[in-house]
Amino acid sequence: MRPLHINKTVYKDERARRRARRRFLYRLRQRVIELGVLAVLVTLVAVPISLLTRREPAPSESTAEVPSATQPAKEPIPYPELNESTIPFGAEVDAQYALLWDVTDNRVIAAKGADVVTYPASVTKVMTLLVAVEHIDDFTDTFTMTYDILHPLYLNNATIAGFVEGEAVLLEDLLYGTILPSGADASQALAEYVAGSEAAFAELMNEKAAELGLKNTHFVNTSGLHDKDHYTTAADMAVVLRAAMENVHCRQVLSTYQYTTAVTPEHPEGILLTSTLFSRIYGDEPDGATIVAGKTGYTSQAVHTLVTYAQGENGHEYVFVTLKGSDRWKIIYDAIDTYTRFCGTKEIGTTPSSTG
């Protein structure tokens, strides 16, 4: 067999070319890596600088006052004005003063004595809730209950939620304690936390009343304990409840049946709070509507008071207020019968064939 002849000169030249090609590819790869790293570094430096040097819009270019497409500007709550179409309530409503308001159409369907000044009792606490929620930033903060709050309430036989002296209570628990069992201890604690005193907090309530356009309302305390300078009307209280229901946090509290407070050394299992409204009513008793939220009240001077919020099967929402009712159950029947009478008809707001 003939031996294979190798041209050593050609072989050396070919090997040199291959080595040169490998060196070229190696350098090219290194250069690509270096350029990639450099590009990353430039990006990391350039982006923060661009953020720092970003031009601030001139005052004329500011969009702060332009409503967002997803968060439209909140319209002011209209006042429930009576007109020729408003039906007068008669003896079928036990309470002396009452108002049924279709808030969807902004139409007062029926009323009696809606602008008469009277005492609200504990429906006052709807305004207390609203003002507190609007002034608190951290609902997980606590307030330590004091003797100065509790002792006068015991002397006045006021309704309390059950917090005790020295107990550190969550602000969220104070909200539910104010509304569900109608606790004056909770409402006064909120006042002291927010404003430093109940008197100062009452001024915030009066400022809110002016903001809402209330016509005949003045507050001197957070609980509704009787005072001749603490008064309202059915129409004004309807606005207060509607404003509270437009606040998601307030709506949740006003719609709750039962709530258990956080565990504390003084209450190892918490306190079970029950709504004074939903302990007397399920909410689905009316025909054509469901009562979804509300607040009761009572003092010997105001007698029985009630504000309720209902959702109609027709898609409308309603506020019904009764002040100076004669009995704790008759105010409930007033609400059930009134929603049934007007929401259970095909033509909402028309006079039914029978008012019995």
Which of 145, 207, 202, 148 minimizes the C-alpha distance to 177?
145
Residue 162 has a CB neighbour count (10 Å cut-off) of 16
Strands (E), the chain: 87-88, 97-102, 107-112, 142-144, 168-170, 258-260, 272-274, 289-299, 303-312, 317-325
The Cα–Cα gap between 304 and 334 comes to 12
Domain-located, residue 99? yes
Write the single-letter amino acid at 259.
Y
Ramachandran category for residue 306: left, alpha or beta (phi over 0 → left; psi -120 to 50 → alpha): beta
Instruction: Indicate if 121 and 2 belong to the same structural domain.
Output: no
Domain-located, residue 350? no
Q: Look at residue 271 in the predicted model and tell me its pLDDT.
A: 98
> How would you list the strands of the sheet with 317-325, edge to edge?
87-88, 107-112, 97-102, 317-325, 303-312, 289-299
Instruction: Indicate if 44 and 125 belong to the same structural domain.
Output: no
Task: Considering only residues 161 and 50, tell me which one the structure prediction assigns the higher pLDDT.
Answer: 161
Average pLDDT in the 156-174 region? 96
Average pLDDT in the 227-250 region? 98
Q: Look at residue 5 in the predicted model and tell me its pLDDT.
A: 45
Instruction: Indicate if 201 and 337 belong to the same structural domain.
Output: yes
Distances (CA, A) of 96 to 310, 323, 331: 21, 6, 11
The Cα–Cα gap between 229 and 296 comes to 20
The Cα–Cα gap between 139 and 174 comes to 9
> pTM (2 decimals)?
0.77
Instruction: Look at residue 251 and tell me whether its pLDDT is greater than 90.
Output: yes
Domain-located, residue 59? no
> Using an 8 Å Cβ cutoff, are 183 and 162 in contact?
yes
The Cα–Cα gap between 61 and 245 comes to 35
Sign of CA dihedral 205, 308, 335, 298: negative
Which of 104, 80, 62, 111 minimizes the C-alpha distance to 289?
104
Q: Look at residue 39 in the predicted model and tell me its pLDDT.
A: 61
Residue 237 has a CB neighbour count (10 Å cut-off) of 30
The Cα–Cα gap between 187 and 197 comes to 11
Instruction: Indicate if 207 and 326 belong to the same structural domain.
Output: yes
Q: Look at residue 4 in the predicted model and tell me its pLDDT.
A: 43
Instruction: Indicate if 49 and 94 belong to the same structural domain.
Output: no
Task: Give pLDDT tens digits for 8-22.
Answer: 444 455 555 655 555
Instruction: Indicate if 154 and 281 belong to the same structural domain.
Output: yes
Looking at the structure of the chain, the number of domains it has is 2
Task: Give pLDDT tens digits for 302-314.
Answer: 999 999 999 999 9
Task: Give pLDDT tens digits for 180-209.
Answer: 999 999 999 999 999 999 999 999 999 999
Which of 184, 186, 180, 185 minimizes the C-alpha distance to 276?
180
Q: Look at residue 344 in the predicted model and tell me its pLDDT.
A: 74
Domain-located, residue 356? no
Residues contacting 235, CB < 8 A, separation 6+: 79, 80, 99, 111, 114, 115, 215, 321
The Cα–Cα gap between 204 and 81 comes to 25
Domain-located, residue 58? no
Instruction: Indicate if 247 and 202 belong to the same structural domain.
Output: yes
The count of C-alpha atoms lying within 13 angstroms of the C-alpha of 3, restricted to the half-sphere facing its C-beta, is 3
Tell me the pLDDT band of 75, cut-offs 50, 70 and 90: confident
Any idea which residue has 């031996």 for tokens?
Answer: 3
Instruction: Indicate if 190 and 247 belong to the same structural domain.
Output: yes
Domain-located, residue 82? no
Residue 28 has a CB neighbour count (10 Å cut-off) of 10
Domain-located, residue 34? yes
Q: Look at residue 175 in the predicted model and tell me its pLDDT.
A: 98
Average pLDDT for the chain: 85
Instruction: Indicate if 208 and 142 belong to the same structural domain.
Output: yes
Read off the CATH number of the domain in which 155 is found.
3.40.710.10
Residue 57 has a CB neighbour count (10 Å cut-off) of 10
Tell me the pLDDT band of 2, cut-offs 50, 70 and 90: very low
What DSSP character marks residue 345?
S
Q: Please give the residue range of the domain that contains residue 10.
A: 1-53
Instruction: Indicate if 48 and 128 belong to the same structural domain.
Output: no
Instruction: Indicate if 46 and 98 belong to the same structural domain.
Output: no
Task: Give pLDDT tens digits for 266-315.
Answer: 999 999 999 999 999 999 999 999 999 999 999 999 999 999 999 999 99
Domain-located, residue 352? no
Instruction: Indicate if 154 and 257 belong to the same structural domain.
Output: yes
Residue 33 has a CB neighbour count (10 Å cut-off) of 10
What ranges in 227-266 are assigned the alpha helix state H? 234-245, 248-254
